[in-house]
Amino acid sequence: MAEEKPKESEEAIELTSGAGQQQAELPSSESICYGEDVFSDIRPLSEVAFFIMTPTGKTFKGKTKYVGLHSNNLMLLETPNASPKEMAVYFQRGFPIKACVISESGGGARIYFKSKVEYVLEAGDNSLFLISLPLATQVAFGLRESARLELILGGVLAPKSNKLSCQVRDISSQGCLVVLEKDLTKHKVGDVVSLRIEDTGGEESVSSDILEAVVRNVKTTGRYSKIGVQFEENSLEPVANLIDNLNFCRMSQKFTL
């Protein structure tokens, strides 16, 4: 049986059944973009919601990760959580696939597209499947209240207690991404955390006020925990001041406090 997906992922793509069709709201024609342009800017391991349909109308709904592009106009995706039987039935060359990729850059976007399954690369738990690179996509921009500023700054999570060294990335007036060694934290969604942003790269060390935030999502890789946080109301003004006072160093090509 195909794996069940969160409601948001199901609503992100067109859902088709033998009895009828339900189509999620798609962006207007003004947001049509070339696939090559769009996917060259998508980060690896971005979320992908999709479904594959067989010639007899059977569908497999899944959720996976975007890996990257191949020079032969192909896209690489991780294989989803599917049984060997499901892989054999649904992941056949030429079967149509409809999908939505979540882009976390800038203001955020959903990228809708149609493609076809091309190949499955078997490698145990590290298997991939390849689909054709779509010529055109439809893009819904502005998923966030405010755009993220892509940067990397130092920081300290729980500066009054555990003092965990971390990196602060992709900050906006509403939140940021906190990255630290996987074994250092066990935070979960809903936890309230404190954070101090620091810049020790210059002649003098500069740091922000202590900011409070709520954990909204947690992702782990082989080495890191990546914690998406939303700033609490009492931290919004200090964050806005911090962003306003950021400087871009042309020599090091990065933002500094």
- Across 55-204, where does the E strand assignment appear? 59-70, 74-78, 96-103, 109-121, 128-132, 136-141, 149-157, 164-171, 175-181, 192-199
pLDDT at 106: 58
Distance CA 20, CA 252 (A): 56
Q: Are 15 and 22 in contact (CB under 8 A)?
A: yes
H helix intervals, the chain:
7-11, 35-39, 84-90, 236-244
| Backbone phi and psi for residue 11, each to the nearest 5 degrees, phi listed first | -75, -15
Distance CA 96, CA 116 (A): 4
For residue 82, give the nearest of 59, 99, 100, 101 by alpha carbon: 59
pLDDT tens figures, 139-151:
887 665 566 777 8
pLDDT at 28: 41
Distance CA 25, CA 14 (A): 9
Q: Which residues contact 85 (CB under 8 A, 6 or more apart)?
A: none
pTM of the model: 0.59
pLDDT at 17: 34
What is the H or E stretch that residue 33 is in?
strand 32-34
pLDDT tens figures, 13-33:
443 333 333 333 444 434 888
pLDDT at 250: 67
pLDDT at 45: 86
Placement of tokens 């942003």 in the chain? 197
Residues of the chain with pLDDT under 70: 1-30, 105-107, 142-147, 201-205, 249-254, 256-257
Distance CA 87, CA 128 (A): 11
Distance CA 27, CA 97 (A): 19
Distance CA 137, CA 113 (A): 5
Antiparallel, parallel or unpaired: β 20-22 and 175-181: unpaired
Distance CA 68, CA 207 (A): 36
pLDDT at 54: 95
CA angle 206, 211, 212 (to 5 degrees): 165
